[in-house]
Amino acid sequence: MRLDKFISQATELTRSLARNAVKHKRVRINDQVVHTAAQDVLATDQITLDGELLSLPGDRYIILHKPAGYVCTRGDTHHADVFSLIERSDDLHVAGRLDADTTGLVLLTNDGQWSHRVTSPRRKCDKVYLVGLAHALDDEQITRIEHGVALKGEDKPTLPAQLKIISDRNVELTIHEGKYHQVKRMFAAVGNDVIALHRKSIGPVVLGSDLLPGESRDLTRAEYESF
């Protein structure tokens, strides 16, 4: 790992401020003043900033209320990403992405095994969405959604889903997979269009009213151990 990245993850400094600290000789590795922020550091190195020994945080598990217009991948030149909403996010990745125009619950972590448990199709983790539709559903469309529909380019139909009608054009959908753009493709397959999409929960973790769009918090131990 580069030194500036290490400092950023071990403190609340941005990588730019970390490089500035190195420039001003505030950083030492094994009691030797460092002159370049680009050098790699080893797990056995003792790194200090202003004389204080630094260490990386442990595994992190975060829930974020994703606003519309943010993407879940890095490097998009047209949209801001969700990582910009989290402090010290360099080592984080998303466990279950959402489209830019989809809002709601996003999980972020630096624990690869945990994110695999969240997203693995074999675990059939429930994902609940609030869906706004262009048209009201008829009985045939409801039956097809609930029993599984064939998606374009897929060999197998979707797993059976649970559909709760909230109003004429608003439903709550529970699915147990995470195929690419799955919710939108499911409704398109039965002749409807999704005009609004919000993820309410993943497994036992529910997005509550305590988090406004753009806000986040650490998962409780009970929450992250439930996967």
Which positions are catalytic?
99
For residues 162 and 176, give the distance between their C-alpha atoms in angstroms, rounded to a whole number: 9
User: Which of 61, 78, 60, 58 lies closest to 69, judged by CA?
Assistant: 78
Residue 10 Cα distances to 53, 77, 125, 174, angstroms: 10, 28, 32, 38
47 is written with which tokens?
């790194």
Q: Are 140 and 191 in contact (CB under 8 A)?
A: no
For residues 57 and 6, give the distance between their C-alpha atoms in angstroms, rounded to a whole number: 10
Helices (H), 72-193: 112-119, 139-147, 182-189
For residues 183 and 99, give the distance between their C-alpha atoms in angstroms, rounded to a whole number: 11
Report the relative pairing of strands 61-66 and 52-53 from DSSP bridges. unpaired
Cβ burial of 19 (10 Å; 0-12, 13-18, 19+) is: buried
